[in-house]
């Protein structure tokens, strides 16, 4: 049976995990949402920091192929999958989630770096 309304943020849980070893992360949905919001703030700040590094990396690239750097992209996807696998016991399927997110992020960063590349000029030796 489906409910047409969102869950209460201050109510008690209405379901429990069958795994007796599961450890709840908060007492209410409101607490969880506040933690998620705080994590999102940190994640966005880290993405901005990553973006600054990507922008600066443009200075070291000679052409559009070097901007896209397909081998480097694959290294990143492989590495983040491995990092996510360390936490898969807490969230099965996490490597797939992380790789999908990174594929989207990297595509957007590469597109941005392409625009930054147009704002650079070669340094004559």
Q: What is the pLDDT of residue 39?
A: 98
Q: Work out the pLDDT band at 87, boundaries 50, 70, 90.
A: very high
Q: Work out the pLDDT band at 80, boundaries 50, 70, 90.
A: very high
Tell me the torsion sign for CA atoms 83, 86, 91, 93: positive
Contact predicate 70/116, CB 8 Å: no
**Model's pTM, two decimal places?**
0.89
The DSSP call for residue 64 is H
Answer yes or no: CATH 3.30.830.10 is held by domain 29-118: no
Q: Look at residue 78 and tell me whether its pLDDT is greater than 90.
A: yes
Q: Look at residue 2 and tell me whether its pLDDT is greater than 90.
A: no
Q: Work out the pLDDT band at 125, boundaries 50, 70, 90.
A: confident
- Spatial distance between the Cα atoms of 119 and 107, rounded to a whole number of angstroms: 19
Q: Work out the pLDDT band at 16, boundaries 50, 70, 90.
A: very high
Q: Where are the domains of the chain?
A: 29-118
Q: What is the pLDDT of residue 77?
A: 98
Burial class of residue 118 in the structure, from the number of CB atoms within 10 Å of its CB (0-12 exposed, 13-18 middle, 19+ buried): exposed
Closest C-alpha to 12, from 26, 2, 22: 26
In which element (H, E) is residue 66 found?
A: helix 64-68
Q: Look at residue 3 and tell me whether its pLDDT is greater than 80.
A: no
């Amino acid at each position: 049976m489906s409910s047409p309304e969102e869950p209460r943020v201050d109510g008690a849980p209405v379901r429990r995990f069958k795994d007796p070893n599961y450890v709840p992360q908060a007492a209410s949905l409101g607490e969880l949402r506040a933690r998620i919001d705080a994590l999102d703030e940190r994640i966005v700040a880290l993405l901005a920091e990553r973006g600054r590094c990507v922008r600066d990396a443009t200075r070291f690239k000679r052409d559009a192929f070097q901007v896209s750097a397909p081998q480097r992209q694959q290294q990143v996807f492989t590495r983040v999958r491995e990092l996510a696998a360390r936490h898969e016991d807490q969230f099965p399927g996490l490597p797939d989630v992380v790789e999908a997110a990174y594929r989207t992020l990297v595509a957007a960063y590469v597109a941005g770096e392409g625009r930054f590349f147009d704002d650079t000029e070669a340094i004559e030796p």
